[in-house]
Amino acid sequence: MKRRTLFGGMLGTLAAPALAASPAVCKGPLYLTIDTGWSREAERIALILRRAGVPATLFIADEPTFRGDTTLSEAWAPFWRARAAEGHAFASHTWRHWYFRGDPAPGQVRYVSRRGEGAVVLDQAGMCAELARPTDALRRMVPEARILPLWRAPGGITTPNALQLASGCGLKHQGWSRNGFLGDELDSAKSPNAALLRRNLANIRAGEVLVMHWGVRSRREPFADILEPLITGLIDRGFCFETLPPEGIPT
């Protein structure tokens, strides 16, 4: 018997037409994932992906944006609707985008704000609610969104209890691979775009799970400036872009 989860039935939602960035001969897949963030370059990044025909898996949380609202507020509904129509997939990145900071007792995980908003201890019900809330909000705005039974912890930081509790909600954690950190969160002075582009083109291999954001507030040299040549270079090397499968990719 298939286990019933809080995301039951979501895999049966209607998917938009699939995107495909296909070289003449595909040497292996790449899985681009995008986490929410400051979102300053969101429209520009979306345009680059659309032009290149690159599908991505979008991990969503309700984070502050450059416009003074949050990423899952109603004002962002047109943005998310457009991404779903383009064939991108979605998954949970938690609602508050706090950080998991230890396991105080069996069946509990400590969840802490980096912005000084406090800390809580989540049990099974609390964890399921935290992980379901962003995708529930998305589903209200975009009923046709394809939502995967995956999640990503903020910063990719997990604890044993966090993983166990999320599994009890029917969700598998999806990190990024060794060469998949594209570097858009790094300081521009120490990691300029030209250096990131060279590094990523040289190091990324088939099967990598890549991670970036819709814009990072602290980065002075927008990573979006090199996204198009990065994608073009990877396609020229024979890689194909795909959304994550429902079971995730080991990293």
Decide which of 3.10.129.10, 1.10.600.10, 3.20.20.370, 3.30.390.30 is the CATH code for 23-241. Answer: 3.20.20.370
- The pLDDT assigned to 22 comes to 60
pLDDT in tens, 69-123: 999 999 999 999 999 999 999 999 999 999 999 999 999 999 999 988 999 999 9
Q: What is the pLDDT of residues 153-193, one digit of tens each?
A: 999 999 999 999 999 999 999 999 999 999 999 999 999 99
The single residue listed with the structure tokens 């699939």 is: 18
Predicted TM-score (pTM) of the model is: 0.90
| Overall size of the chain counted in residues | 251
Domain limits of the chain?
23-241
